[in-house]
Amino acid sequence: MDAGLDSDTAKKILRAVDGLGLRLSAVIITHAHADHFGGAATIRNRAGVPVYAPTLEAAVIANPLLEPLYLFSGAAPMAELRHKFTLAQPCAVDAIIEAGDAVIGGITVRAIPAPGHAPNQMMIAGGGVCFVADACFAPEVVAKHGIPFYTDVIQTLETLHALQTLNGQYRYFVPGHGDATPEIGPWAAANAERLAAIREAVYAALADVAGPDEILARVAERLDVTIPNPVVHCLMRTTIMACLSALQAEGRATVNVNANRLAWKVN
């Protein structure tokens, strides 16, 4: 499930599989972020196995420049976004995985839609284990990043609510970052609470500032978050934009152009 950041990570995965005396049947990529598919081409080429991915995510996996493009508002990405953490090696996707049950390599798995962190992200379940990918972060991951990456706040909250209903249906839940847990409900609730706090911090910032960058700075200050570099700024800015879009959809904020600047305000 997923292939890690780069070829070095992929080689470690292949060695681990060999060490367990197992044979790799396929690679399923849950979503098209570089840290999850950067090693896919290496695994596909060395193990000779097919790569599966959801439709929209497959487009990015085959054309990884799309990730830094959308992080940089569609413009030619700055140099800081042209490294392996946001620009992975391309990989051909051999088959599309859709929501529902499928047999892959002789094993029945269930793909569960989990949009929000990525538009077409899927969780993959089977054998009593649910790989939740980045639909839910471990508590230490949320604490580390402060403002996690989301493309759609409303979808993320719906995904986290749905994930809580899966509690007890699987023996273990495995996040994309962090250790497995037998209880995903508390994690999902904590993730939802943090995201709601970020959205409300965005709403509060609209009382004083109007531009996305200024809003991000105000939210980071309120939540005691430090933005260490341009890449993290782009990631967190995406989450802020997702919050603004959600507030607009909820009828709580509007946007226009004021003095040639994009300006958001409380509705």
pLDDT by residue (tens digit) across 29-72? 999 999 999 999 999 999 999 999 999 999 999 999 999 999 99
pLDDT by residue (tens digit) across 155-166? 999 999 999 999
Specify the higher pLDDT residue, 178 or 217: 217
Residues with Cβ < 8 Å from 46, sequence gap 6 or more? 10, 11, 14
Check residue 181 and report its DSSP letter.
B
- Residue 110: what pLDDT? 97
- Residue 122: what pLDDT? 98
Rounded distance between C-alpha atoms, residue 4 and residue 128, angstroms? 23
In terms of Cα–Cα distance, which of 242, 81, 230 is closest to 149? 242
> Are 103 and 110 in contact, with CB atoms under 8 Å apart?
no
